[in-house]
Amino acid sequence: MIVNYRNEVWTPYKMESWSDEDEYLISNYGRIKRKKVTEDEWQLSKTSLVGGYPSFWIRKKGKSRTSSSYVHRAVANIYLKKREDQKFVIHLDFDKTNNEASNLKWANKEELKQHHTKNPELIKRKGEIKYSKLTEGRVRMIKRKIFDPNRRTRMRLIAKQFGISEMQLYRIKSGENWGHVKIDG
């Protein structure tokens, strides 16, 4: 038996391309019930994460294969009003797993961009260089070696030692890349 949350509302949900063998109910809390035509009881549908968003599996009409549907889009389709230019569903609290109708909102592309600029996770990562072979600590070591007045090691060997190109090394030396990193003491 499935226990309802306080003020939870269940609404039937069906897409044209879905098989007639299953029935679905979507709640305003982002839960999904599935009922097979051959059985008589409802079950909570299992969800899996696709790109961080919970999704549930449905059968396509006339085919034996399944497809996934995002929970947040299903909740938004049922419980939220949408203008014609709004194609995206945003999570107001930036939590992709919180699919309550009160946490979702339809948005157009411009509104989506504006919303993402306020994402705390994005703001936190803004200063980080994400896909670099080098870290600030390794760049400090490289700069110490490059600017050592008694250096006898060739630039090519330093580049090989750190797994970077000689061109990258010259860019670090000129300050074009990693110019914000200073050598300690």
Q: What are phi and psi of 154, to 5 degrees?
A: -75, 155
Domain at 10-108: CATH architecture? Alpha-Beta Complex (3.90)
CB distance 71 to 96 below 8 Å: no
Q: Report the pLDDT averaged over residues 63-92.
A: 90
Query: What's the mean pLDDT when you consider all of the chain?
Result: 87
Q: Residue 130 — very low, low, confident or very high, per pLDDT cuts 50/70/90? A: low
**Contact residues for 159 (Cβ-Cβ < 8 A; gap 6+):** 165, 166, 168, 169
Q: Which span out of 15-19, 59-63, 79-83, 126-130 was modeled with the highest average pLDDT?
A: 79-83
For the chain, the structural domain boundaries read 10-108, 136-174
Percent of the chain past pLDDT 90, that is, above it, reads 50
CB distance 113 to 92 below 8 Å: no
Total-model pTM? 0.65
